């Protein structure tokens, strides 16, 4: 079973799109178990298949920190029919990634999230047309005000794509708001890379925005273009695949973190 998700992890196990690409290269495997379950473990809740523990591609036992998360992972395995399809198992893929690639390098993953505070999606605004300018402001300005008021992070906005150096104090203040547990950090990393915004990820963590609001804010420009020029089916399919992983990461954050406000 372990090799089923080997290529889904890949060299960048927290990159959902790469995970999907790698998974699609492998043939699907027959379902080989009768039931999936959850048992208590010393450091959480272990997921089992026919009472045997699931292991990650690196051979570690799959243990979730909350019963709610473990039950959801087990449900993914229970829902498989004749074949096992990793594309329908975002929480399992997430668990493999966090256990194999994040637990031992939380600081490095946190640093990777923090890099986005230097070039966050929310900082770079359109200069025209006025309707797009107004839409970006409506979705993004409240988050900049929140970051300043709640986190003490005062960021600089720019028009266009020319890089603007953000104050070190702002980046440090925002980074200090990141949690330190591996599951939350891994989920924030997924949200950040999928949306292009660490501030949106923080807003989700703190309950400032719900998942639907975060997803909408991340796609202001794309949705405006769709309204003007129509839907590109290939782009829409990629977006739908990303949304699956986004919702999995959002579910992890909800299970692990109370609304901090």
Task: List, as one string, the DSSP characters of 184-208.
Answer: HHHHHHHHHHHHT-HHHHHHHHHTS
Own/partner pairs for 5-8, CB < 8 Å, 24+ apart?
A: 5/56, 5/57, 5/86, 5/92, 5/93, 5/96, 6/57, 8/86, 8/93, 8/96
Check pLDDT > 60 for residue 23. Answer: no
Q: What is the pLDDT of residue 26?
A: 62
Q: Is the pLDDT of residue 131 over 60?
A: yes
Strands 83-84 vs 36-41: parallel, antiparallel or unpaired: unpaired
The span from the CA of 229 to the CA of 29, in Å, is: 41
pTM for the model: 0.90
Tokens standing for residue 105: 């390098």
pLDDT per position as a tens digit, 79-124: 999 999 998 999 999 999 999 999 999 999 999 999 999 999 999 9
pLDDT tens digits, 220-249: 999 999 999 999 999 999 999 999 999 999
Residue 77: which pLDDT band, with cuts at 50, 70 and 90?
very high
Give start and end residues of each alpha helix (H) in the chain. 6-9, 16-24, 67-78, 90-97, 106-115, 130-146, 168-176, 182-195, 198-206, 211-218, 220-229, 233-256
User: Percentage of residues in the chain with pLDDT exceeding 90?
Assistant: 85
> Mean pLDDT over all residues of the chain?
90
List domains and CATH numbers for the chain: 2-101 (3.30.2180.10), 106-256 (1.10.3580.10)
């Amino acid at each position: 079973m372990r090799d089923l998700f080997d290529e889904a992890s890949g060299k960048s196990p927290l990159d959902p799109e790469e995970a999907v690409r790698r998974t699609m290269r492998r043939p699907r495997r027959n379902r080989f178990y009768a039931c999936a379950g959850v048992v208590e473990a010393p450091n959480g809740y272990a997921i089992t298949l026919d009472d045997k523990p699931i292991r990650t591609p690196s051979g570690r036992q799959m243990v979730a920190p909350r019963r709610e998360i473990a039950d959801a992972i087990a449900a993914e395995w229970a829902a498989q029919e004749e074949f096992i399809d990793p594309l329908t198992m975002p929480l399992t893929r997430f668990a493999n990634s966090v256990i194999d690639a994040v637990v031992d390098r939380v600081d490095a993953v946190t640093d990777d999230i923090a890099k986005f505070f230097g070039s966050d999606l929310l900082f770079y605004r359109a200069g025209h047309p006025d309707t797009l300018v107004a839409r970006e402001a409506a979705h993004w300005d409240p988050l900049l005000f929140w970051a300043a008021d709640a986190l003490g992070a005062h960021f600089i906005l720019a028009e266009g794509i020319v890089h603007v150096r953000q104050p070190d104090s702002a980046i440090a203040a925002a980074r200090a708001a990141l949690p330190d547990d591996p599951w939350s950090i891994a989920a924030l990393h997924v949200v950040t890379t999928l949306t292009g915004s660490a501030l949106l990820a923080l807003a989700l963590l703190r309950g400032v925005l719900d998942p639907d609001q975060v997803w909408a804010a991340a796609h202001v420009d794309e949705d405006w273009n769709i309204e003007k020029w129509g839907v590109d089916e290939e782009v829409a399919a990629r977006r739908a695949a990303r949304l699956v992983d986004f919702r999995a990461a959002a579910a992890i954050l909800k299970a692990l973190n109370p609304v901090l406000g």
